[in-house]
């Protein structure tokens, strides 16, 4: 009996030691943006399973009306800290999200073009996420446009 208790205590201590393992630094960034298309339900799915989420709320937040969200293009990239930068052609904003507990939570909404963006696309850069839209280049981080970085 004593032997079983001692073995149990040793096992508990050994297993609890595994719970506090920290791996750092971690680079969560994606080298390239994902260009995804919403399905009939407004859901985008990255292949081979990078991310999947319901984009309908995002389109409703941007356009202010509940039109269909099928066959819309969503452009998304992830930075080194794990923030997701999302936009779509015609959007005025870039939406910056943080993931937690199976959801994406909006951290910042960055106005880029009052009349909407034509053919926006993202690139990963050493100092942040580059957005190219309407002939302009912006460098973004989790706080928005990095001052002095609009070209």
Among 123, 112, 139, 148, which Cα is nearest to 34's? 123
Mean pLDDT score of the chain, rounded to an integer? 84
Task: Report d(CA 18, CA 65) in Å as an integer.
Answer: 49
SS3 89: coil
Confidence bin at 27 (pLDDT 50/70/90): confident
pLDDT of amino acid 3 = 57
pLDDT of amino acid 46 = 82
Among 115, 109, 103, which Cα is nearest to 143's? 109
Among 34, 77, 41, which Cα is nearest to 57's? 41
Token duo for residue 19: 């719970």
Burial bucket for residue 56 (CB in 10 Å: 0-12, 13-18, 19+): middle
Q: HSE on the CB side for 38, CA within 13 Å?
A: 20
| 80-137 pLDDT, tens digit each | 999 999 999 999 999 999 988 889 999 999 999 999 999 999 999 989 999 999 999 9
Torsion angle defined by CA atoms of residues 65, 84, 145 and 38, in that order, rounded to the nearest 10 degrees: -30
Confidence bin at 14 (pLDDT 50/70/90): low
């Amino acid at each position: 009996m004593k032997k079983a208790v001692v073995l149990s205590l040793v096992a508990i201590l050994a297993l609890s030691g595994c719970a506090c393992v920290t791996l750092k630094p971690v680079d969560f960034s994606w080298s390239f943006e994902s260009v995804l298309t919403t399905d009939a339900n407004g859901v985008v799915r990255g292949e081979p399973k990078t991310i999947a989420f319901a984009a309908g709320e995002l389109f409703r937040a941007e356009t202010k009306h509940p039109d269909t969200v099928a066959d819309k293009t969503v452009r998304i990239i992830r930075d080194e800290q794990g923030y997701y930068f999302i936009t779509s052609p015609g959007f005025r904003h870039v939406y910056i999200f943080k993931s937690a507990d199976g959801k994406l939570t909006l951290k910042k909404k960055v106005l880029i073009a009052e009349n909407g963006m034509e053919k926006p696309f993202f690139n990963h850069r050493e100092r942040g996420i580059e957005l190219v839209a309407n002939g302009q280049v912006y460098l973004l981080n989790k706080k928005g446009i990095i001052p002095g970085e609009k070209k």
